[in-house]
Amino acid sequence: MSSSAALEWKFSQVFGEQSPGEKVDDVDFISAVEFESRGDYLVAGDHGGRIILFERTDGTNLHPRKELEHMDYPATVHPRYFYKTEFQSHELEFDYLKSLEIGEKINKLRFCATPNNSLFILSTNDRTIKLWKVSECKVKRVKEMELSPNVSSENALLSGKSFVAGLNESSIQNGYHLEWIDKKPRSVSPAPEESPNTIFNVGESSVARCRRVYAHAHDYNINSISNNSDGETFISADDFRINLWNMEVSNRCFNIVDLKPLDMEDLIEVITSAEFHPDYCNLLAYSSSRGFIRLVDMRQSALCDQNAKILLDHEARGSRSFFTEIIASISDIKFAKDGRHILSRDYMNLKLWDLHMESSPIAIFKINEYLRPKLSVLYNHDAIFDKFECCISRDGHHFASGSYSNIFKVFSHDGGQDDGITLEASRNPNRVSHCRTATRTAGLLAALPVDSTEEDMTIQVLMLVMRSLAT
């Protein structure tokens, strides 16, 4: 696909759509979404600590063969995702030493390398990281069983009508399955007059099991987790520290970055995001509330207090005001697949960086520029501290990030600062003009308290399909 090709965005799929008049609880709000690297799976986490996994199916045989033979062009098949499984990842906890309640909300999700057909998912709340294994298993459901002297006493009890009557319900609940099935003696056989097919119906389902729990390593809320390219390690970051973990060792980690001062009055910045380099397992980048992006090499020392590179927009720091440092805080960074470029998001803009050019970004894409005259109002209602994430396409040519009022913008590498496409995350992702969005949002800020965040807009997972058209 040419990087200069125009893109047409069309609605594709929605999950968990709210019915008219339906009451939505706070625990149902989605807090994290992640795609598997090949796009075969989509996982979402919510404020209730639950994880929902979807699997991609390309919808083969959507048209009859005769209909396909009469078509002059192949039928366009958009990727479709279907529910696969759901399980409880985190529960509400209480830290008695610090008298602190730790919520079950999922902060981040990451897919891990898959050596076999199983899926491995890292999930974290504010303090604890867990490694989950999702695998396929065969589920046997009792269809009909007559009491027989050949049946063991345990299975005879299970073959009662009261047990059979509940088989219409799913045998998998939150990732758990019927343990007695796996323990059933293989020597037990049905009565001679019965056919084996009338006793067991073998089906397939997904089971999630917690393989590791990485806990007691963070005193502050975890804001990032990132897998290493070696497939064996990952990092977790909070406001002050970045820890390096081995996947197989859950009771020990190594602190590789520590920004916490001895005296908290000397605090000047906090860590906001961290990510491993996609190719080099010794390199990682992390961003700060001062607008810095630091690239560190773990080969230099055990504690990475020396930076290999610091990316800083010197031009943006030229004209300073009370709000300059606040809006310069970087909320998210993403490495491009080529490993040379980094995409960052602050309150106002998306910025594309080249690791070979440290003094300024190579491109700036404006998202919330229309809010600049309203910074004082945003500050008074703490909305100026809202965080937005960003994403970059696999080819590295397109970037996207969200804003308020269900709006997100998509930019092209070859486009200008103001040439992005503004879309609404709904069934009708019409291209809303920048002026229209600015007028509507500015009026809202002047009339109402600004208390909406990204979480208010993630009650549903929205899928949009990107189609390239010739210009």
C-beta separation of 328 from 317 below 8 A: yes
Report the pLDDT averaged over residues 247-265.
94
pLDDT reading at 33 higher than 60? yes
pLDDT reading at 443 higher than 70? no
For residue 159, give both structure tokens.
């073959």
pLDDT reading at 334 higher than 90? yes
Weakest-pLDDT range from 5-9, 189-193, 215-219, 426-430 = 189-193
How confident is the model at residue 453, as a pLDDT?
Answer: 40
Provide the sign of the torsion angle of the four alpha carbons 166, 170, 173, 177, taken in this order.
positive
How confident is the model at residue 63, as a pLDDT?
Answer: 59
Confidence of residue 351 (pLDDT cuts 50, 70, 90): very high
CB 284: neighbour CB atoms within 10 A? 26
How confident is the model at residue 324, as a pLDDT?
Answer: 87
Average pLDDT value over all residues in the chain: 79
Weakest-pLDDT range from 119-133, 331-345, 392-406 = 392-406
How confident is the model at residue 65, as a pLDDT?
Answer: 67
C-beta separation of 453 from 4 below 8 A: no
How confident is the model at residue 437, as a pLDDT?
Answer: 45
pLDDT reading at 85 higher than 60? yes
pLDDT reading at 317 higher than 50? yes
Q: 287 phi and psi, to 5 degrees?
A: -110, 165
Report the pLDDT averaged over residues 209-237.
96
C-beta separation of 202 from 233 below 8 A: no
How confident is the model at residue 127, as a pLDDT?
Answer: 95
Report the pLDDT averaged over residues 214-234.
95
How confident is the model at residue 257, as a pLDDT?
Answer: 95
Q: 20 phi and psi, to 5 degrees?
A: -60, 130
Provide the sign of the torsion angle of the four alpha carbons 424, 109, 137, 177, taken in this order.
negative
For residue 150, give both structure tokens.
């050949």
How far is 270 from 160, CA to CA, in rounded Å? 61
Higher pLDDT, 7 or 385: 385
Q: How far is CA 309 from CA 136, 283, 285, 357, in A?
A: 44, 11, 9, 10
410: Cβ–Cβ under 8 A, 6 or more apart, which residues? 7, 9, 398, 399, 400, 420, 421, 423
How confident is the model at residue 14, as a pLDDT?
Answer: 86
pTM > 0.85 = no
pLDDT in tens, 394-436: 888 899 999 998 899 999 887 666 678 899 888 877 656 444 4
Confidence of residue 470 (pLDDT cuts 50, 70, 90): very low
How far is 368 from 249, CA to CA, in rounded Å? 43
How far is 424 from 443, CA to CA, in rounded Å? 18
C-beta separation of 168 from 142 below 8 A: no
Confidence of residue 313 (pLDDT cuts 50, 70, 90): confident
Higher pLDDT, 94 or 188: 94
pLDDT reading at 31 higher than 90? yes
